[in-house]
Amino acid sequence: MKAEETPSESAEKSPSRYRIEALAKGLDVLRLFDESVTSLKLRDISERTGIPMPTAFRVVATLEEGGYLERLADGAIRPGVAVLLLGSAALRGSSLVQLSEQPLRHLAEESGETVNLGVLVGDQVLYLARLRNSDLVTANIQVGSTLPAAYTSMGKLLLAYLSDAELTAALAAHEFGTDAGPNAATSLDELRERLAVIREQGYSLQDQEVAAGLRSVSVPVFGRDASKPAAAINIAVSTQRHDLASLRGPILDRLRATADDISRLLRAT
């Protein structure tokens, strides 16, 4: 005779009784997007999730109203800023940010310049840590902010480690020339040439590609997977304070030493 199940055992076997279908459908839609799928049409969403078109329309409209999705001019749908903010909140509590805090603070104090930690989210760099020099003239970037990866030193560095197919997918929705500095790449082909150099030399320079008057140099941070960076760190400077030679010299040396420290800490966890 079968023993009677306890309430806790029954709950473990039947988690669906707590399921909220509308919420589950919304999460199914959000899970469609990743580094290789950055935008979808409504019909694609319906087909990939199995959600009927009328229901998919309502789910997307609700997520769009909350800022979790946004609609492009051609009708395609992509993740909105609210999703990035949720992701940044999770990452700020992750071991990556926690283990990076002290080495980055030491680097900022030693260099006297702005120091950043970022990861790649689609065609954007998401800033997870930022220690800002008040003299730096740039946009009001803070933790949780994003910038186009194609124009930033951290973004280009992380893009350089993608396969050609991954790169094409990541930048599918990127509009070259939009919100860019005077020296930014104007096409995917031009960017590919720059990324090949970055991958070869192991660091990335940004010379007034984000905005006039701003330069930066970035290097990768590796965890246990030594083939692909877990993140990137950079030092951002004013063009009035540093030329490209100094970015390739003492500043790069300090940056690499810090990246090595963070990588060792990540591998030890």
Residue 6 pLDDT class (50, 70, 90 cuts): very low
Per-residue pLDDT, 1: 41
Give yes or no for residue 143 having a pLDDT over 50: yes
Cα–Cα separations (whole angstroms), residue 177 to 14, 169, 191, 211, 265? 53, 18, 12, 12, 38
CA pair distance 126, 117, nearest whole angstrom: 9
Sequence-ordered strand ranges (E) for the chain: 69-71, 77-79, 114-121, 124-131, 146-148, 204-207, 214-221, 231-238
| Structure tokens belonging to residue 58 | 């309502």
Q: Directed axis angle between helix 53-65 and helix 21-30, to 10°?
A: 80
Model pTM greater than 0.85? no
Determine if residue 75 is left, alpha or beta; phi over 0 gives left, psi from -120 to 50 gives alpha, anything else beta: left
Whether the CB-CB separation of 185 and 171 falls below 8 Å is answered with no
Percent of the chain with pLDDT over 70: 87
Does residue 8 or residue 23 have the better pLDDT? 23
Report the range out of 82-86, 96-100, 121-125, 197-201 with the highest average pLDDT. 197-201
Give yes or no for residue 226 having a pLDDT over 90: no
Whether the CB-CB separation of 195 and 151 falls below 8 Å is answered with no
Per-residue pLDDT, 92: 55
Mean pLDDT of the chain: 86
Give yes or no for residue 139 having a pLDDT over 60: no
Per-residue pLDDT, 177: 83
Per-residue pLDDT, 135: 62
Under DSSP, the state recorded for 150 is: G
Mean pLDDT score, 185-202: 96
The string of pLDDT tens digits covering residues 245-266 is: 989 999 999 999 999 999 999 9
Q: Which residues does 28 contact at the CB level (< 8 Å), separation at least 6?
A: 49, 51
The string of pLDDT tens digits covering residues 41-81 is: 999 999 999 999 999 999 999 999 988 899 988 999 998 87
Residue among 87, 83, 55, 56 at smallest CA distance from 67: 83
Give yes or no for residue 142 having a pLDDT over 90: no
Per-residue pLDDT, 8: 40
Give yes or no for residue 238 having a pLDDT over 80: yes
Whether the CB-CB separation of 160 and 148 falls below 8 Å is answered with no
Percent of the chain with pLDDT over 90: 57
Whether the CB-CB separation of 244 and 216 falls below 8 Å is answered with no
Q: Give the CA angle between residues 162, 168, 170 to the nearest 5°.
A: 70
Cα–Cα separations (whole angstroms), residue 120 to 54, 233, 260, 266? 33, 12, 20, 18
Does residue 22 or residue 92 have the better pLDDT? 22
